[in-house]
């Protein structure tokens, strides 16, 4: 998405410092530059949310980030006009720590609202409602049995949990519910807390490693479509609200904005479609079983090995190059643009011919030509942009627009008192102005008119997608661009 706002770095730094909260020695101390409420989040220009990685909340499929929580967060951040940064954490205690330490503004995990948690955080309006269910394994010969016979062999009465061992996620509301249920039935339930999320625990039930776990029904029903030998039909709680959370003492305006947005959004067709997409969609099973459902396979496309091979030659993390390929072609090797650019990296055949490469001969040839072109662009910007992280933005912009238009924007930035060596808030601003005759007719401009919105979005989309890839995919040992998140954000 196109960055909603551009900030001069000095102005941003001044405002963030002035809005930050720091009180050394107090129990309520916050790290320096923590955004304490919506006003300072707006100044910072991005919303930071912590969420968990699983097949309903946040994952990658065929190269693109997806998930019920992810899509909700994107809608909310777009509503605010802010960028979105996601921190991933599947351990609940660490997710709460990320929120309350100020590392994140919002805890976007489906949390059961209960009185003990209300002492620690402030809950939003409910995102949804569900109940907790027992997850158990059907008998081995269940396919040959009638429904009545299966029911007789499974636990259908909560009293039957007496003496059973139930594994639950450490720190989850399921722990408390099982303890309460043990009191209610007047007998002991052996409750084992483990550092695994519900999805992994259900997988363990399906695989026969454990016999019972507890999960929220909406999630359990989705996962049961992947593992046909599990049963999720025995409730162990009454309906409960599921919500997000903000810091209790520092997020009044953010909470008010969230509550108003959630209340309104839940009444829309967009929310109904989103809920159906992730919780009532039989196609989710096929997606999860795909080779390109990255949580299971770590793969983005059939061309990952080639991308890894050639990314090393330009000292790029393979996930960064993959993000570029996804942006250009969505991993379709036969795609051709209206202008004649071809293949995975959308290289013009005439450009590739200058490197002695036939881009139509094979997907590998196409990637090899793209790498040659990137190396050529680096030869232009290596001496002009001293900072490596900034240089990447210029190379990506030039990959989309051609180097001439980027060089023009640099000259316009310098002429008008901005930093020609910084992309966000500086050269990107003048890239956008190259469609205005007042600026493309300026004597310093050599390449004429250009509609820069696509190029600015191109750079942003590649870097944003790369951040998602870093969240959800294993790297390859190259750390050259691990600093991009902080460098990118500081420059906006």
> Is the predicted pLDDT of residue 23 greater than 50, yes or no?
no
Average pLDDT estimate for 93-120: 94
In the structure, what pLDDT confidence band is assigned to residue 250 with cuts at 50, 70 and 90?
A: confident
Angstrom distances, CA of residue 181 to CA of 66, 235, 314: 35, 11, 59
d(CA 315, CA 303) in angstroms, rounded, equals 18
- Structural domains in the chain plus CATH codes: 9-127+242-294 (3.40.190.10), 132-238 (3.40.190.10), 304-490 (1.10.530.10)
Mean pLDDT of the chain: 89
The predicted-structure confidence for 213-238, as pLDDT tens digits, reads as follows 999 999 999 998 889 999 999 999 99
Specify burial of residue 150 (Cβ count, 10 A radius: 0-12, 13-18, 19+). middle
Q: Which of 384, 383, 381, 413 is nearest to 397 (CA)?
A: 381
What's the sign of the alpha-carbon dihedral 293, 296, 300, 305? negative
Average pLDDT estimate for 76-99: 96
d(CA 435, CA 433) in angstroms, rounded, equals 5
The predicted-structure confidence for 383-414, as pLDDT tens digits, reads as follows 999 999 999 999 999 999 999 999 999 999 99
Output 450 or 10, whichever has higher pLDDT: 450
Give the percent of the chain with pLDDT over 90.
Answer: 82
Beta bridge partners of 134: 214, 234
In the structure, what pLDDT confidence band is assigned to residue 200 with cuts at 50, 70 and 90?
A: very high
Cα angle: 455, vertex 460, 463; to 5 degrees: 125
- Residues 474, 322: contact at Cβ < 8 Å? no
d(CA 249, CA 246) in angstroms, rounded, equals 9
Q: Residue 86: phi, psi to the nearest 5? A: -115, 130
Q: Which of 103, 110, 98 is nearest to 54 (CA)?
A: 110
Angstrom distances, CA of residue 82 to CA of 39, 69, 73, 459, 479: 12, 17, 11, 17, 28
Lowest pLDDT segment from 209-213, 260-264, 278-282, 427-431: 278-282
Residues in the chain, overall count: 492
The predicted-structure confidence for 299-320, as pLDDT tens digits, reads as follows 999 999 999 999 999 999 999 9
Average pLDDT estimate for 163-186: 95
In the structure, what pLDDT confidence band is assigned to residue 111 with cuts at 50, 70 and 90?
A: very high
Q: Which of 400, 342, 347, 396 is nearest to 372 (CA)?
A: 347
Residues annotated as catalytic (active site), given as ranges: 328
Largest Cα span, the chain: 86
Q: What's the confidence (pLDDT) of residue 16? A: 35
Which positions ≥6 away from 58 have C-beta within 8 Å?
51, 52, 65, 66, 67, 69, 70, 86, 88, 471, 472
DSSP states of 94-127: HHHHHHHTTS-SEEEEEEEP-HHHHTTEEE-S-S
Q: Are strands 128-130 and 165-169 parallel, antiparallel or unpaired?
A: unpaired
Output 362 or 4, whichever has higher pLDDT: 362
d(CA 345, CA 328) in angstroms, rounded, equals 6
In the structure, what pLDDT confidence band is assigned to residue 282 with cuts at 50, 70 and 90?
A: confident
Specify burial of residue 60 (Cβ count, 10 A radius: 0-12, 13-18, 19+). buried
């Amino acid at each position: 998405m196109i960055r909603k706002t551009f900030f001069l770095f000095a102005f941003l730094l001044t405002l963030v410092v002035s809005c930050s909260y720091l009180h050394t020695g107090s129990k309520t101390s916050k790290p320096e530059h923590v955004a304490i409420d919506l006003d300072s989040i707006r100044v910072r220009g991005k919303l930071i949310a912590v969420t968990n990685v699983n097949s309903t909340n946040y994952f990658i499929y065929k190269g693109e980030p997806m998930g019920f929580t992810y899509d909700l967060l994107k809608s909310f951040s777009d509503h605010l006009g802010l960028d979105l940064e996601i921190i991933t954490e599947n351990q609940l205690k660490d997710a709460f720590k990320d929120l309350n330490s100020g590392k994140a503004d919002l805890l976007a995990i489906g949390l059961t609202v209960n009185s003990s948690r209300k002492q620690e955080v402030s809950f939003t309006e409910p995102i949804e409602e569900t109940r907790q269910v027992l997850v158990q394994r059907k008998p081995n010969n269940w396919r040959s049995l009638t429904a009545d016979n299966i029911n007789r062999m499974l636990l259908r009465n909560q009293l039957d949990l007496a003496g059973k061992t139930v594994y639950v996620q450490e720190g989850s509301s399921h722990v408390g519910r099982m303890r309460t249920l043990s009191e209610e039935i007047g007998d002991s339930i052996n409750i084992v807390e483990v550092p695994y999320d519900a999805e992994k625990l259900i997988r363990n039930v399906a695989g026969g490693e454990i016999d019972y776990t507890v999960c929220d029904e909406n999630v359990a029903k989705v996962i049961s479509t992947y593992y046909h030998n599990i049963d999720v039909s025995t409730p162990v709680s009454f309906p409960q609200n599921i919500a997000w959370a903000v810091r209790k003492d520092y997020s009044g305006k953010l909470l008010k904005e969230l509550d108003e947005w959630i209340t309104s959004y839940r009444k829309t067709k967009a929310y109904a479609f989103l809920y159906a997409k992730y919780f009532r969609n039989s196609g989710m099973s096929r997606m999860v079983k795909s080779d390109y459902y990255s949580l299971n396979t770590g793969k983005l496309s059939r061309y990952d090995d080639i991308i890894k091979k050639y990314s090393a030659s330009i000292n790029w993390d393979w996930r960064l190059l993959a993000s570029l390929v996804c942006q250009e072609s969505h991993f379709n090797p036969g795609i051709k643009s209206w202008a004649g650019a071809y293949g995975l990296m959308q290289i013009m055949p005439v450009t590739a011919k200058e490197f002695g490469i036939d881009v139509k001969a094979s997907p590998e040839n196409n990637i090899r030509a793209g790498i040659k072109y990137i190396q050529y662009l680096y030869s232009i910007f290596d001496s002009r942009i001293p900072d490596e992280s900034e240089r990447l933005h210029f190379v990506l912009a030039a990959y989309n627009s051609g180097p001439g238009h980027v060089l023009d924007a640099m000259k316009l930035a310098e002429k008008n008192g901005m930093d020609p060596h910084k992309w966000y808030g500086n050269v990107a601003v003048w890239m956008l102005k190259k469609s205005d005759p007042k600026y493309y007719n300026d004597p310093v401009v050599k390449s004429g008119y250009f509609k820069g919105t696509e190029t600015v979005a191109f750079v942003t989309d590649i870097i944003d997608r790369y951040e998602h890839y870093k969240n959800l995919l294993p790297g390859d040992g190259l750390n050259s661009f691990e600093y991009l998140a902080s460098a990118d954000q500081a420059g906006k």
